[in-house]
Structure 1
Amino acid sequence: MMAFLRRYPLPVIVLAQLFGTSLWFSINGVWLSLAAEFGLTEESLGELTLSVQAGFIAGTLTLAVTGLADRFGASRMFAVACLVGALSNAVFVSVAGEPQLSLILRFITGLCLAGIYPLGMKMVIAWTPKYAGSALAWLVGMLTLGTALPHLMRGATPGMPWEWPMVGASILALMGGALVFLLGDGPHLPASRGPIPLRQGLAALRIPDFRAVAGGYFGHMWELYAFWTLVPLLAGRELVRLGIGNDLIPWFSFAIIGIGGIGCFFGGWLSRRKGSAWVARWALTVSGGMCIVYPWLHSLPAGLLIVMLLVWGVAVVTDSPQFSALASAAAPKESVGSSLAVMNAVGFGLTLPAIWLTSGLWAEWGVWVVLLLVPGPVFGLWSLRRAS
């Protein structure tokens, strides 16, 4: 079994990533049912999403401070993270009506995701170093599909208990952890022999190319997760205008987020011809343009705006794997894991105010909240122009 898996390491890793990251937005996928049952608001959705993001940040900082990302086998850490994340996600089902416990469990889920996403990136680099940009595109494409998967699971279970998609996400995470555990660590990036302090993870920021790429990534992250959080609200707005019921919101949300996976795959293919920096710049330009023009076009036919959301869904994440590839190439080889963990921690830290602002102001501002995302792509493009 292990020999078979090691013949196809990239498909195994990206499939495990798809399964593991289904935990990320598992709450968002069942949001309408949760809100109806417990009387929750859009602000509550923001708080639960923020808890996951905060847990992820705490996890990536722990990886960076302790050097765990470069000291222990990535496959074992990935598997343990999937196990604990699956358990915390499943327990949420029984305490969903308890605000404090719900937030704590979502924080733990985010903490575990720090052992899935960054470690997945390291495993891709370890198994397929020659075409990191293309390989990471597949990984982030599966992260995108994993993020969208809870919406699909909810859309496929209309009228059924909201707990089913939640438990389904936990089962998928367990399967993902098992796949990676059986695969093992790749041969091209061995673990370091000693502890790597935080300053070594931060040292990459003194490298001009890494700093330029990190700045582009930070601007990208300001936009990405806030947009994904808003997708059910934006899609719901247009479906109401079309006179369509709420049952289709999960399907449209899945399509808008999940189509980003196609953008990642195409961007990975294109990066082998045009380069990762070129792909990242164009994707960030298109998504930034959507941030600017979308609210001004809010009175156009709803069908046209849904098409725009699909285009936005492609562009908003196409640059993500290219930033990771550029950063891994610019970082010191002996501390790639810690350098990426630091970059991830800062980037996800920026998602907190973006999600808090947009979800908190949605009831008052409506679609105009997306203008708050504009500074991210603008700053990202400014920083990325300095990359070689």
Structure 2
Amino acid sequence: MSKKSETLMLCLTVILGMSPWFATGAAIFDIARDRGIPGSLHALLSSAVQAGFVVGALGVAVTGIADRLDPRKVLAAAALMNGLLTFGLLVFMPGTPVSVLLRFLAGVGFAGIYPVGMKIMIGWGRTDRGYLVGLLVGALTLGSAMPHLVTLLGGLNWRVVIVFAGTASVLASVLALRLQLGPYHARALSFDFRAIRLIWTDRPIRAATGGYLGHMWELYALWTWIGVAAATSYAQRLPPKPTENLSALTAFAAIALGACFCVPAGELADRFGKARIAAGTMWLSGLAGVASAAAFGGPVWLMFALLLFWGATIIPDSAQFSALIADNAPPDLAGSLMALQTALGFTLTIFTVQLTPVVAGEIGWRLTLLLLALGPAFGIRSLRTVWR
């Protein structure tokens, strides 16, 4: 099969495999009504996935699984595991301690899909890695948005979302075994701890990691809570039922729209420089965050438009941080370094996802959205030495 068909097959696999990530967050209103769980537990169900991903990504990095084993088999096993864990939420309902454990273990499984998928993707090219990783991150973004679409179409029934996400992940495990590896795929015979050292000592890799941390400060906090933030804003001008429907549409559209811009951003990055394009998109997402905070509680159409713009600009830079790692790392260490980079970023998101609703409860969503804009500012500063 051709490079184009193989990369598109990989993207479809990642879309399906990432679908369970926001399975509980997308149906949060129906879960709250059905299960009567407090907001703090909503946050715990989401941050458990982040914590599990960190553990899994660190495991991938330290063991070198993405570099030493056949990544297709790793991806297939992880997607199958996540599908079964997601189905488990139908037995151990959201809100029980076991459900939190299931979400944590699913987070571990995602580390076998996202970083491993990037390892497979960069094996298909050298000069066009910005485009290739952008394509994969676009797939990841679309997969993350799918539960919000199912929530919108499924009448806000949380069980429909769970069944869809679990089925999609199982299908991803089947597709993963049909993937081919590219001509530039590099395999390590054993893990080299240089992968850990390089993330601190190599200037381009360190800058890319700093930029990634700034990016992650805002990304998953917004993706997890955008429906709640939008609903809180819309509720000041709309009745309850239209508020819930429009907030679900906002969450899906904002996340999915970002997927559309990952590929063009990757093409521009290959042409003009990955660090420069990443910094440019962070400027836009930071401005979108400030504008959304200013418009909070105002006209519904304006808040809706600004949240969509924020969603469109918050994700295209993500691929370029990974591509910078791939460009500057020894080929046989690229998978471990990308896994380590993502582990650090998702460690940060454990705190941002858990604390965002708490902070919003204390100071309001307007100021909370404004605080998220601090992430892009830090990321831009970290990248300055690279693009110069």
Report the TM-score range of the alignment, normalised by the length of the smaller protein.
over 0.9
Question: 1:93 and 2:90 equivalent?
Answer: yes
Determine if contact 2:115/2:339 at 8 Å carries over to the other structure: yes
Determine if contact 1:260/1:317 at 8 Å carries over to the other structure: yes
Equivalent-residue separation in structure 2 for 1:263 and 1:200 (angstroms):
30
Question: 1:267 and 2:265 equivalent?
Answer: yes
Displacement of 1:188: 1.1
Question: Residues 243-262 of structure 1 correspond to what in structure 2 (within 5 A)?
Answer: 243=239, 244-262=242-260
Letter in 2 for 1:208: R
Displacement of 1:179: 1.3
2:111 to 106, 110, 114: 114
Letter in 2 for 1:273: R
Please identify runs of 4+ aligned residues in structure 1 that moved more than 4 A.
Answer: 4-7
Determine if contact 2:233/2:298 at 8 Å carries over to the other structure: no
1:276 alignment partner in structure 2: 274
1:313 alignment partner in structure 2: 311
Equivalent-residue separation in structure 2 for 1:219 and 1:9 (angstroms):
32
2:138 to 138, 141, 146: 141
Question: 1:83 and 2:80 equivalent?
Answer: yes
Equivalent-residue separation in structure 2 for 1:225 and 1:255 (angstroms):
15
Letter in 1 for 2:187: A
Letter in 2 for 1:24: W
Question: 1:37 and 2:34 equivalent?
Answer: yes
CA-to-aligned-CA distance 1:221-248 (integer Å, 9 cap, x gap): 1110001112111221243223424233
2:191 to 195, 217, 221: 195
1:382 alignment partner in structure 2: 381
My pick for the range that moved more, 146-155 or 94-103, is: 94-103
1:175 to 171, 174, 190: 171
Determine if contact 1:202/1:339 at 8 Å carries over to the other structure: no
CA-to-aligned-CA distance 1:341-365 (integer Å, 9 cap, x gap): 1111101111111112212223333
Equivalent-residue separation in structure 1 for 2:352 and 2:184 (angstroms):
37
2:214 to 215, 219, 232: 219
Determine if contact 1:76/1:184 at 8 Å carries over to the other structure: no
**Unpaired segments of 5 or more residues in structure 2?**
none
Equivalent-residue separation in structure 1 for 2:70 and 2:314 (angstroms):
32
Determine if contact 1:226/1:358 at 8 Å carries over to the other structure: yes
CA-to-aligned-CA distance 1:193-246 (integer Å, 9 cap, x gap): 12334x533324311111111110111011100011121112212432234242
Determine if contact 1:354/1:372 at 8 Å carries over to the other structure: no
Equivalent-residue separation in structure 1 for 2:161 and 2:124 (angstroms):
32
Count matched residues: 383
Question: Residues 67-78 of structure 1 correspond to what in structure 2 (within 5 A)?
Answer: 67-78=64-75
Equivalent-residue separation in structure 1 for 2:258 and 2:332 (angstroms):
32
Letter in 2 for 1:373: L
Equivalent-residue separation in structure 1 for 2:187 and 2:38 (angstroms):
45
Equivalent-residue separation in structure 2 for 1:164 and 1:179 (angstroms):
23
Equivalent-residue separation in structure 2 for 1:233 and 1:202 (angstroms):
40
My pick for the range that moved more, 354-363 or 328-337, is: 354-363
1:50 to 35, 47, 51: 47
2:149 alignment partner in structure 1: 152
1:334 alignment partner in structure 2: 332
Equivalent-residue separation in structure 1 for 2:180 and 2:148 (angstroms):
31
Equivalent-residue separation in structure 2 for 1:302 and 1:366 (angstroms):
18
Displacement of 1:317: 0.5
| 3-state DSSP of counterpart to 1:289 | helix
TM-score, structure 2 normalization:
0.94
2:225 alignment partner in structure 1: 230
Equivalent-residue separation in structure 2 for 1:278 and 1:370 (angstroms):
25
Displacement of 1:98: 4.8
My pick for the range that moved more, 241-250 or 70-79, is: 241-250
Question: 1:325 and 2:345 equivalent?
Answer: no
Question: 1:371 and 2:367 equivalent?
Answer: no
| 3-state DSSP of counterpart to 1:140 | helix
Displacement of 1:112: 0.2
Determine if contact 1:42/1:362 at 8 Å carries over to the other structure: no
Letter in 2 for 1:164: V
TM-score, structure 1 normalization:
0.94
**Unpaired segments of 5 or more residues in structure 1?**
none
Equivalent-residue separation in structure 2 for 1:96 and 1:248 (angstroms):
26
In angstroms, what is the RMSD of aligned CA positions? 1.7
Determine if contact 1:60/1:341 at 8 Å carries over to the other structure: yes
Determine if contact 1:354/1:373 at 8 Å carries over to the other structure: no
CA-to-aligned-CA distance 1:131-153 (integer Å, 9 cap, x gap): 11101111111111111100001
| 3-state DSSP of counterpart to 2:364 | helix
Equivalent-residue separation in structure 2 for 1:32 and 1:239 (angstroms):
15
Letter in 2 for 1:206: T
